[in-house]
Structure 1
């Protein structure tokens, strides 16, 4: 298919037009719709430039020295980056430079959003391009969406100017992340980190307040004291021969046994009229998916990490099957309501299950307003929805198909009728020493399934439970109520007390964390803080931490820093470690603003104003003011750290090793010998976790290679491993203690028990001419794709 696009190939242009794409897949999607000898297309494949490491900028910044801080620059130098395979992007940059020759207009067609803008603008500035720039905003890669994007481009003469403001906002986020990560990590590690802790204490503008949310919840869980509370059951018999049980279970729980006993005694002999209220309760479909709520749904249903969900959603977007996935919004623009019938027809053609529930076009339900699905302004990007293009049978991998069907089902449900429940509540008023008390029970039956027919039993799942909160008390319900008339007489012969126990808050799970970061307003109780987090311009998107594109990268950083650990489960809960609690306590003691999630969310909302500037000049002024403020905050942070004392940390609270890796036999043997010699207990978990064992050795044996004056030299791990194997061969129950802790004794043991023809493993030499085995390539390279957390994080810090 080939169509001329006047906006891209106008004959009035003296030079060429270059389309700048983010990925070749998107480029191929658009090339189906235009062909012209005056049009050039290039694809970046993610960020082509990378921020320089401090040591590459100045030699004196390579070493970790507190007197060199703060390290501050007006602009962070960039250099040619590398792809996932370690290959330089230099050839691609050179090819784009050649393609720009003779170009008078560049149309940026990268993914919508700040990072997409940055991918193109940083290359254009690096290569010195000074021509006209416009922005093509592609909310989806199907034909209808592409044509609409070109129509919008023709109407927006200043699209490039406004996109440059988004680029400057992304630059400012990178500027703060680089400076805070670099200076904060070095300062905290050099001055506040306990001596026994060898890993850097990594610091970040978003990850530190996110840790604060988790740590505050952890403290509430750990300090929670369960209490018994009481509910009173009242079995009654009705005049017509029915039997049911009413409950007194007030929201203000009864904690005093004597009070519950008095109410029970008063209710035991109750007789009177029952009140019956019957009403229809409408149940509307759930909201459409944003990036964070989609990640939560996939974690709950499939056990996926949010980054896995993001990868599948991005692949479906690149194929033109889903709309842009990195969105904060759960709404659609009102104008797209006219597309619903065509999209649902496409869904029905791709899935027999969806086709069975698809209504006729005239029967579609369109819900408008903030409580519906269509609004006047859904924000920068609308909700994630399927498109007219649907996948052919067998065209998608199973996981990608599951994700597409989840989004498709959500879209179809949004256009189906409400469900209706017939709800009956039976109640009685009982006189007690504390005044009249209400006893009640509720029963519901499905009157009209509506959209719930599409979900079956899943429709009743509590998907909207607030993460980090205790599960609310269930309203007293009965599966089936007998026929009861309003005012019917009834009598009770006895009442019983049921004891329940309060539960602590639930830990936030891996899949819930992005939702918590985006909806911080749900985590605070203080009315003033809630007001501070409100967003009057878009009430459905309150101020939060990070952006939809970067939130998934925060948890892996916290885990890598040993601040948090994942528990077991399909969607594992997040537990804050002792190290994480100690680190956050140090941050709040030294510089409380960096441990304040609400303050950070307000700060980020102000930062976003750079991207909303009406002109390039205004955006540049705001960006420069932000850089000056960042440097001032750095000065204050370093000054505060300089005047603080180093923290003490129990070695048993050290970091767990990755995936719970156990220590070697030699490490355990050496730790056991040290504990016996120094008269100290072994920490819990030492024999199971290499991190705990290593921290114990670091604390009591000193840094590796350092031998205190007068202390015996410790044998190497290789020597201990060989000695342990010899002991097993010789039938010895255990190594002598002196062998485990003294180099000379260990050497003597090896000489006495090793076969003379086979030198000890610790002293074997490599045969002449034999090459050392190749070192395993590191797998820690950041993806060259568009992930702000991977590409724009603070420089990788060496062990201090």
Structure 2
């Protein structure tokens, strides 16, 4: 689009709320503002590109294009964005400079650039990077814009990185899902096997953990308690609980016997232990804390944080960093004062400029370069009572207290350790106990009883606590003591903990904590920013992975405030198939390294360099795609025993549970986990076992459709029946007879129309029609691949 040299400038925003925040600072006849409200363009469906790509046929794979055509996206209400795009086209008339003011990051850049590319705009483009929407941050952003004449060039590189990510998502999701479903999916699983560049290795992490949990065999281990009496009659109990656990009872008994006769001096060591405040919040750690404390889904947390950002109360929330730039240390006193004032904190918890503690370096809170976006912090603008909803206030309060705590003194504990060396036939053994007293609460006074220790590493077994006592009697170093007795106590090893919904984004971002191999840990180091090791996905996209895995029935969520994630049989079978056919896609570390290479596109300093890197990436993507299809073509279908995957949902009826229990007892098989709480698990078990074992005549084993079952359940409730008969749950003909009988009585006259099987005609994970014999998932939101990847 040609642009007249009139000096007009267009500001391109992501949301009207942000546009209103900035319009307070500039209003001129030569300035025009537009707001996109999300992605306005979406990638075309394969069937719309070529008619032969609409059916699911393995012979048509791979489906690959040089440039993904785009169409107008739709709003949540279903309205087309065509009008908004055309309004932006009109606004661009006569504009020779565009300032992109969308949210910082790749997605924000793409929202604007995809429209500008689609409309053919060729004028100057600059990037306004808004880390926050308060007045101070906005003025700083404009000052930075004036100092960066090439901001548009670098932002175009970020756009191309986002475009390449979607290019890969579109091609891998489309081809991988069809190939795996058509060629490798066992008959026991009816849902399509959805495939994705990030979700598949994420599932691999969960599947590996699931295998370790299922294969875990608990073992008894032993600790030895040694009650002793010291001078003056002081009594306490020492413990021998080494990190290298004692699994042989004979060894424990030998130590106990020697300890029971012990007498000698006690070693008493006292020292002060400093406890610095925890790190500031990144998007993932904030999601984890809110899940643990409030039970929020990470996407709920992200929504509240985004709203607070849009209103100028929080800094940009989609960040991977837990640090602040050193240049912002001077703002701390004013922000603390504003937050402490609205929270009503006493003076000792609202330090003034002279009492502010600034911790610098990687172990502190301020570093030279915190990355693309710094940690989530409050701003000088604070929400007044009633200005935000109660949930948003809880989130702001959590972030504000974290920031204030980061500038308060360390907590100090006086720690006393009492120990004794006992000679045994197995060598000298140490018995000890530790007691701690708070000498100075420091930052912990801000939280009171809610002060939390560091969160454990997700997916790891719980660590044994050091033997501790609430209070220790006063003792001097070297005080003589003697054993009163000694006993062996038995404990049991525990399996690794399942990763929870709130922890998964942290696991994806800090993959380095999940690996033990030193070589793999080195591979995950990030030389560009050592504080942010390589991980899976981006902070902006990790929240969306778990819903996709749940929808695909690869995982199920347990109950609880922050539910644990359990991998289903379908998820385990899918990962087994991926690793058998194309191991690279089931390797989380390899994927993290691959994504780090992808991020290099966004670090290009010129448009030409970014285009060259993007072209090379797309070429590699098409090569990987060809290799994947070839590998699937030469592989055998995976043989899996068992029922289809469990899925979250309603509980089964008592009749279903009774039927399943009878089948299991008669055939000598175990009921699957979750059968008594999930109707999907129970129905899957009945489908797999009742049909095969009862051997009904051909043509009568087809299960009822979901629509028929919903209709039958509604009729059962209407007629106050005690659930559905078990055969109705699993047999199409029986369900048909039930509907005919009860629907006719319900109307009092003619039978109701035959229920429609609405599973027909739904679309697969790539948005195209699924095979006729496969139950179709609902259409998913289209991905936008606006503009064009460089050829």
SS at match of 1:536: coil
Q: Is 1:515 the equivalent of 2:506?
A: yes
Q: 1:634 aligned to 2:607? A: no
The match for 2:332 is: 340
Equivalent residue, structure 1, for 2:80? 88
Query: Which moves more between the two structures, 308-317 or 264-273?
Result: 264-273
- Aligned mates of 1:179, 1:693 — CA distance in 2: 35
Deviation at 1:656, TM superposition (A): 3.1
Aligned pair in 2 of structure 1 residues 283, 91: CA closer, same or farther (>3 Å)?
same
Mapped pair 1:391 → 2:380? no
Is 1:326 aligned to residue 315 of structure 2?
no
Q: CA deviation at 1:199?
A: 1.1
Distance 1:733 1:379 in 2: 57
Contact persistence 2:157–2:603 (CA under 8 A): yes
Q: Return the match for 1:494 from 447, 463, 485.
A: 485
1:349 Cα offset (Å)? 2.3
Structure 2: runs of 5 or more not aligned: 768-779, 787-791
Q: Would you say 1:291 and 2:280 are equivalent positions?
A: no
1:417: Cα distance to partner? 0.5
SS at 1:240 equivalent:
helix
How many angstroms apart in 2 are the aligned matches of 1:462 and 1:606?
Answer: 35
Of 569, 577, 592, which residue of structure 1 is paired with 2:568? 577
Residue 592 of structure 2 is aligned to residue 592 of structure 1: no
Alignment equivalent of 1:659, drawn from 646, 649, 672: 649
2:168 & 2:238 partners in 1: Cα distance?
Answer: 59
| Residue aligning to 1:279 | 271
- The aligned counterpart of 2:776 is none
The 3-state SS of whatever aligns with 2:649 is: helix
Name the CA shift for 1:98/1:204 in 2 (closer, same or farther; >3 Å). same
Does residue 1:35 correspond to 2:27, yes or no?
Answer: yes
Partners of 2:699 and 2:135 in 1: how far apart? 78
Tell me how far apart the structure 2 counterparts of residues 557 and 715 of structure 1 sit (CA, whole Å).
25
User: Matches of 1:195 and 1:501 in 2, distance apart?
Assistant: 40
Which residue pairs with 1:607 in the alignment?
598
Determine whether 1:473 maps to 2:464. Answer: yes
Cα distance in 1, alignment partners of residues 542 and 74 from structure 2: 23
For residues 594 and 713 of structure 2, the distance between their equivalents in structure 1, rounded to whole angstroms, comes to: 59
What SS is found at the alignment partner of 2:63?
coil
After alignment, is 232-241 or 602-611 more displaced? 232-241
User: Measured at CA, do residues 404 and 61 of structure 1 come closer, stay the same or move farther in structure 2, by a change above 3 Å?
Assistant: same
Maintained 8 Å contact 1:231/1:497: yes
Give the drift of 1:28: 0.4
Per-residue CA distance 1:388-433 (angstroms, 9 max, x = gap): 0001111111000000000000000000011111111111111111
2:777 maps to: none
Q: Does 1:433 align with 2:422?
A: no
How much has 1:435 moved relative to structure 2? 1.3
SS in 2 for 1:761: coil
Contact 1:364 1:415 in 2 (8 A): yes
**C-alpha distance in structure 2 between counterparts of 1:738 and 1:506, whole Å:** 39
Hey, what does 1:530 align to over in structure 2?
521
Question: Would the alpha carbon gap of residues 710 and 172 (structure 1) be closer, same or farther in structure 2, given more than 3 Å must change?
Answer: closer
Equivalent residues of 2:13, 2:101 under 8 A apart: yes
Distance, in Å, in 2 between the alignment partners of 1:742 and 1:449 is 67
1:347–1:354: 8 Å Cα contact kept in structure 2? no
Q: Supply the distance in 2 between the matched residues of 1:594 and 1:504 (Cα, whole angstroms).
A: 27
Alignment partner of 1:362: what SS? coil
**In the alignment, what sits opposite 2:495?**
504
- 2:240 touches 2:429 (CA, 8 Å); kept in 1? yes
Q: Is the 8 A contact 2:180 2:632 kept in 1?
A: yes
CA shift, 1:758, in A, is: 5.4
Residue 7 of structure 1: aligned partner: none
Deviation at 1:359, TM superposition (A): 1.1
Seen in structure 2, the aligned counterparts of structure 1 residues 575 and 675 have a Cα distance that, compared at 3 Å, is closer
Distance in 2 between residues matched to 1:720 and 1:92, nearest whole Å: 40
**Contact 2:173–2:766 under 8 Å retained in 1:** no
Query: Counterparts of 2:697 and 2:681 in 1: how far apart (Å)?
Result: 22
* Alignment-derived partner of residue 680 in structure 2: 691
Judge which range, 215-224 or 694-703, deviates more: 694-703
Name the counterpart of 2:773.
none
With normalisation by structure 2, the TM-score equals 0.88
1:450/1:791 Cα in 2 relative to 1: closer, same or farther (>3 Å)?
farther
The 1-side partners of 2:625 and 2:133 are apart by 42
- The CA deviation at 1:647 is 2.1
Would the alpha carbon gap of residues 755 and 661 (structure 1) be closer, same or farther in structure 2, given more than 3 Å must change?
closer
> Match of 1:245, SS?
strand
State the match for 2:553 in structure 1: 562
Q: Which one of 130, 133, 138 corresponds to residue 146 of structure 1?
A: 138
Q: Structure 1 pair 21/427, CA: closer, same or farther in 2 (3 Å)?
A: same
Q: Deviations over 1:86-111 (max 9, x none)?
A: 11111111111111000000000000
Matches of 1:283 and 1:748, distance apart in 2: 67
Distance 1:352 1:42 in 2: 40
* SS of match in other structure, 2:528: coil
Greater mean deviation of Cα atoms: 495-504 or 740-749: 740-749
- CA drift at 1:493: 2.8
**Pairwise CA RMSD:** 3.8
How far residue 622 of structure 1 moved from its aligned partner, in angstroms, is: 0.5
Q: CA distance change for structure 1 residues 344 and 696 in 2, over 3 Å: closer, same or farther?
A: closer
Match of 1:218 in 2: 210
CA contact (8 A) 2:712 2:739 kept: no
Structure 1 position 179 matched with structure 2 position 168: no
Q: Distance in 1 between matches of 2:669 and 2:43?
A: 47
Q: Is the contact made by 1:331 and 1:373 (CA closer than 8 Å) also made in structure 2?
A: yes
